[in-house]
Amino acid sequence: MSEWTIGIVGGSGIYAIDALEDAAWVDVDTPWGRPSDQLLTGRIGPVRFVFLPRHGRGHRIPPGDVNARANIFALKAAGCTDVVAISAVGSLREELPPGQFVVVDQFIDRTVARPSSFFGPGLVAHVSMADPTCARLAGLCADAATAAGAKITRGGTYLAMEGPQFSSRAESLLYRQWGCDVIGMTAMPEARLAREAELPYALVGMVTDYDCWRGEGEKVEVAAVIAQLGANADLGRRLVIELARSLPAERIPSPVDTVLDFALITAPDARDPALLEKLDAILARTLARQP
């Protein structure tokens, strides 16, 4: 088997990966509650995959109610080495039309009502989010998208909004002024939590619409989004197959694998034992190397 175990977080329109061999849905629970759905485990060739539909099968869970802590913790506990999010996004740029794929490399977080960290009172940690995605994993995803036949843009800034309503026109225009390229409702705090869990993270945004910045009469409607989702989702699933084919046989360690070595600030004798236990799957490596 490969040294890679890839967690796939499927966004709107991607609720399963049909190409998985030895596929099985597995019930999981976490100290942070239940994730969005069962985990679908399997492999493509020698590469093991763990798939999680972010909104649950049938799209039951709205963006603000996605339990991102449980989702990321479940993927970590399942042995994932890396996480790829495949997400529907709106476009804030004329040159990113519906059907375009964007491999995101930056985020602006405008969510306000979601727990954004595994850590808290009794165990404080500060991870760097200067470069919130893994350049190596993002590059592999971009190459896989190209091989799958997608039109791909490498690099872009994702504006994470609270939702579930779409943007006002004034907001959409403001986000363009900020230099944002795409907009969505789910990448944050997901990307933050993946970093805290020492999971290299990449996000492939599948453009479904132009948001509402282009002028009077422009607006986002679910019917149009759903119409684009089908074509995007087929390409997204092919991307996963191409990614499995293209992964190097050896997974060279990533700097993200060890970020907690430099992030924990609470003195060992002041740490909350209950929170330490709750974070066992995330902290096992870090605590094992400390005296």
Q: Which residues are catalytic?
A: 209, 211
Q: Residue 34 corresponds to which tokens in the numbers above?
A: 């239940």
CB-CB neighbours of 29 under 10 Å: 12
Cβ distance 92 to 178 under 8 Å?
Answer: no
Peptide bond into 46 cis (omega under 30): no
Cβ distance 9 to 194 under 8 Å?
Answer: no
Work out the burial of residue 124: count CB atoms within 10 Å of its CB; fewer than 13 is exposed, 13-18 middle, 19 or more buried: middle
What's the length of the chain?
Answer: 291
Which of the 8 DSSP states describes residue 174? H
Q: Residue 75 is inside which H or E element, if any?
A: helix 68-77
Cβ distance 244 to 49 under 8 Å?
Answer: yes
The residue with tokens 């992030």 is 263
**Distance (Å, whole) CA 11 – CA 23:** 19
Cα radius of gyration rounded to whole Å, the chain: 19
Cβ distance 52 to 36 under 8 Å?
Answer: yes
Cβ distance 97 to 151 under 8 Å?
Answer: no
Say whether 182 sits in a helix, a strand or coil: strand
Cβ distance 25 to 38 under 8 Å?
Answer: yes
In degrees and rounded to multiples of 5, residue 245 shows phi and psi of -70, -30
